[in-house]
Structure 1
Amino acid sequence: MNASPTAQQRTLANDRFLRALRREPVDRTPVWMMRQAGRYLPEYRASRAKAGGFMDLCRNPELCCEVTMQPIARYGLDAAILFSDILTIPDAMGLGLSFTEGEGPRFERPLRTAADVDKLGVPDPEGELRYVMDAVRTIRGALGDSLPLIGFSGSPWTLATYMVEGSGSKEFAKVKAMAYGDPELLDRLLATLVQSVTQYLLAQIAAGADAVMVFDTWGGVLPPAAYRRHSLEPMARIVAALKAKAPGIPVILFTKNGGQHLSQMADTGCDALGVDWTTDLADARARVGGRVALQGNLDPTVLFAKPERIRSAVAAVLESYGSGNGHIFNLGHGIHQHTPPEHAGAMIEAVRELSPAYHR
């Protein structure tokens, strides 16, 4: 599946985000927020209530478009990101995904045996996952040529943690037991997920995504050798496949708690790395040596502080990265549910006011 020419050649009114990903000059640091369309916004809560449930919302392209556009309308951000969930791929594999309010995701049929793993197929992006592609197409139409659209997927390792554990976890005992006790079985699972994520992201690009991001939420729970084998290497294979088929589309990798791995992540050939708040951006910039752009990295809990404190924290992040190209301002992870929306607005306004000094 090749990316559509429009995805790689689209002329956008605001391409600040894409230029920063390419480490080209910009007038100010672009800004968007992980989970920018979400429960902290009253308009999102109204849309979700209208849908009836979280997955009902995810499967409704028009409502996905509606909630994707809500933070754009409210804040005037520099990029939109597809509203969806990282677990759409394992759901399409037939594991029986459900969401319970306050408890998070749960799979009815988690992977427990080699037979469970070996019977998995690669979902068809325009079949079982067509609702996601329809959402991308609908959002692209709503955005027109105004802003870039970010597509995304969970990383193979992160998807595997949910598929093996059956839900979220604190210890990751079951998936780590597989990693240490039967690593070849985990490799087979990850190989299927590499294919699935690659096809899923290429389909999002063909449907209108201008950049894609791989969320490796749980890579940081692995020790270094296991991280390289089970998290980094699968992501590197995805990057290589995306670059072979859609060379003009920027790819962002993000491993939460992955600061020690940034140099190796940059070696994958990706265009940018997300950095969480546990790593100083100046240190991150030194480690990657200008090979990739950096995205981040305000601690999301800063947004519970007063606006003047938020402004100071924004200033510290900008100062940490310093002058020059290749920085996208973002949170170090997703925005918290109870964040006051006006505090997110204070952060965005501070980025707009303070960042031009770093681009003269």
Structure 2
Amino acid sequence: MRKVAARCTIVSTAPALALVALGSPALADEDPSGWGAVQEASDQASGQKDGKRYSASAGQVSLKGDAQGQEGSARGGGNLSVPAANWEPPPCWYAPKYTPKELKKEVDASPYELTGQRPDNGRKKEDVDGSIRDKYTKGDYKNFNLKKQGDGMFWAAVPNPNEPDKAKAQSCTELPFWVKNGEQPDVPGAIDTKILAALAYQAIEVPDTEVELNPKNKQTVRLPTWTWLDKATFKPVSVTASVDLGGGEELSATTTAKPGALNLDPGTEDAKLHPASGKCPAKESGTIGTPYTKGNAKKTPPCGLTYLRSTPKGETYTLQASVVWEAAWKGSDGTSDTLPDGTFGNEQPVTVQEVQSINR
């Protein structure tokens, strides 16, 4: 079954977002879920999942959430598709990264690498190396703030491994800067609840959108087809992204997506949709559509379609069903907001027969 929308425009990582450390600009190009990238992008990355929950951490950000569509699942699943015109996740951000000792080790090894650019063999590299070393030894900081070991961290740039534009992923060009434990710097791009919420949204994975049909196998010309979603499967899913600010302080944001509507496309112009818009809104109970019950064969379903022409012999119509997921987030600091709707769907082959009468 071919997926119509399998991941966010940037997207993600379903069971785990692969966040790479400074100086490791590897991107998750092959694995649509991003799970494999967690293992490959950084030696500091780690992740695990089971049938219901997953956890992952890398790039100083930890993710915990619902695991949908795990390997071996009958329904599959994936990340939400969000039009780039409506929303894009951060291409990079700044987060706590180095202790004074760790930063000194990095600078001693290769100061130029802190810029996120490839060093060359010319004079430019030598000049940059010298100015960076001076910054942390006798400029903005004295001897890498070694006397403040344990009092804070150097925040550094973290590229989003799922950002397809490598230039954007490396657009956070500030050199590591000092922040006291428990504090948030007033620096554009410094990780906050809004960025954490975006990373959590990017990581959300929803179940496959295979709708229940009645009739189940072959449809009949001019006989309404009832469609609905399994309430046990289509329920709100959440992911929490957090970062340790030091001093026992943690900042986090939880993003939750819930089914808002089911969109139907019969795959042919010779069909009527119910409702006419083809959009079946979710009820307050969370259900979408109404399961068919005996005796309703000729009634108009609240969510469904009626095919007006049979499929040619040996062929099928392609029914497209996609769920619109409504998203919102809450931060540990009391902040909250909504996010643009995301969608996920698939295609189902449908055979329509010509029958004069039928009893169900």
Which band: TM-score by shorter chain?
under 0.3
Greater per-residue strand proportion: 2
Normalised to the residue count of structure 1, the TM-score between the two structures is: 0.22
Structure of higher CA gyration radius: 2
Comparing both chains, which one has the higher relative contact order based on Cα–Cα distances under 8 Å and sequence gaps of 6 or more? Answer: 1
